[in-house]
């Protein structure tokens, strides 16, 4: 997989998620509560996210350009998050709950997602 292709796919997705949270934080907080309440969804998501992380790490563990670094961080993050969902899901929820309740921290995190998504979109479509 090339950096350009992954930037074209990942960039718009994380940019849209960042924009969505900035404009509709209550909706995303509700999703988080719903996600925790449905163990089957947590399990299936863990399998999917871990598998995606493995594929990305195996094919794009590159650390040269900024775009490669962002994509590789996302890949490793997906692998670790997916494994955590499967092995210790309660730990992930325990860590994320205080973060979700801190509006300033969440807005900052989503602004970072928006910036990374915009940058990857730029790299993927216009560079």
Confidence of residue 90 (pLDDT cuts 50, 70, 90): confident
- pTM flag (> 0.85): yes
Residue 35 has pLDDT above 70, yes or no: yes
Predicted local distance difference test score (pLDDT) of residue 1? 65
Quick one: pLDDT band at residue 94, thresholds 50, 70, 90? confident
Average pLDDT of span 48-67: 97
Mean pLDDT, residues 41-48 taken together: 94
CA distances from 16 to 90, 98, 107, 113 (A): 27, 23, 14, 9
Distance CA 93, CA 84 (A): 10
């Amino acid at each position: 997989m090339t950096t350009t292709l992954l930037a074209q796919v990942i960039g718009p997705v994380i940019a849209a998620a960042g924009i969505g949270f900035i404009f509709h934080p209550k909706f995303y907080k509700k999703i988080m509560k719903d996600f925790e309440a449905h163990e089957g969804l947590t399990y299936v998501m863990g399998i999917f996210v871990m598998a995606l992380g493995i594929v990305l790490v195996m094919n794009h563990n590159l650390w040269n350009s900024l775009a490669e670094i962002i994509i590789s961080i996302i890949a490793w993050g997906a692998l670790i998050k997916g494994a955590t969902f499967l092995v210790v899901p309660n730990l992930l929820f325990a860590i994320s709950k205080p973060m979700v309740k801190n509006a300033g921290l969440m807005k900052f995190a989503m602004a970072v997602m928006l910036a990374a998504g915009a940058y990857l979109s730029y790299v993927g479509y216009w560079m």
